[in-house]
Structure 1
Amino acid sequence: EPLSIYELAMLGLETEEAGWSEEDGTKEDIAETVKELLMEKSEMLKEYFSIAIDKRGNLRSLPVLLENYFPNQGEIPIFILRLSTEVDWTNEQPCFDGICREIARLYAKCDPNNLQRDWKHITEHVIYAAIKESLLPPNHFAHDSSILQIASLPNLYKVFERC
């Protein structure tokens, strides 16, 4: 179900992390500005980042970075707020960089109520599985020590066959 950007911004402004003060303006005005900005940028957000915002100002989708992993839904309000306030929308490269950083920030946060259990499970069953399946580093990484081979399964079989 789509989520109202205005309502998400209002929820984000209620958090301590937002750092809202009365000098910033009313929460309602800020939430409306957030909604208008993201609606104005909706075509670019959809095309490059799979962040879909409809004509009524509702968030319809977020990018799927890893199959079977979804960000903590409680972080979406602050994500929407930061997407509008922490991204340099005036220059192309800093804009794309800022959006990528905010998406990464959203996906990097775990539910604080289940931090230890969730982080261990996500790391082991989602992130490591995705790395195993999809990581294709350049060949020079093997020579410049960016990635080190610590074991070779065929060589280990040779060693343990003799035991």
Structure 2
Amino acid sequence: MIKAISFLCLFSFALISCQTERISKYPKTVGDIEFDTTQDAADFKKCGKAKDWPVSFQYYQGVKQFDYKGEKIAIVEKLNKENIESEKNINGYITVRFLVNCEGKTGLFRLKHMNSEWKDAMLDQELENKLLQFTKSLDGWKPKEIEGFKVDYYQYLTYKIENGKVSEVLP
């Protein structure tokens, strides 16, 4: 009987250990971007954890979605001066998602492309690279504080492409 109870306790402990290991492989927050040495700058640093909050805030966690010096109009004006367009007559969306750290610096850029029916589709590699570089050049992102703690936050810009030209910047 004692052997059976000991075996049951040992088996339960092993089962719990396996569950803990499996759960820890998931990010703390849905949508977190993991650092990738092949595409991320080694000198980009995230800020530390504030209280019991996640390290980086998502748009759905109460952080104002757009906080750029001069607001979105400043980005649109800069984009218009750059005159970025494709030689191809394409339609769709190119989204660049990234992290703004507590100093207002950006990193961990990720790109997503979709056709006008919102299906994953390569539009124009050259245009995507130009929009990615343009987004990386934006240096007016404002640092954020929540209850006195500096925090990182995710930001995204979606470029609507019509006839090879950016027709709108979302959000």
TM-score for both structures, normalised by structure 1: 0.24
More strand by share: 2
Larger RCO, structure (CA 8 Å, separation 6 or more)? 2
More helix by share: 1
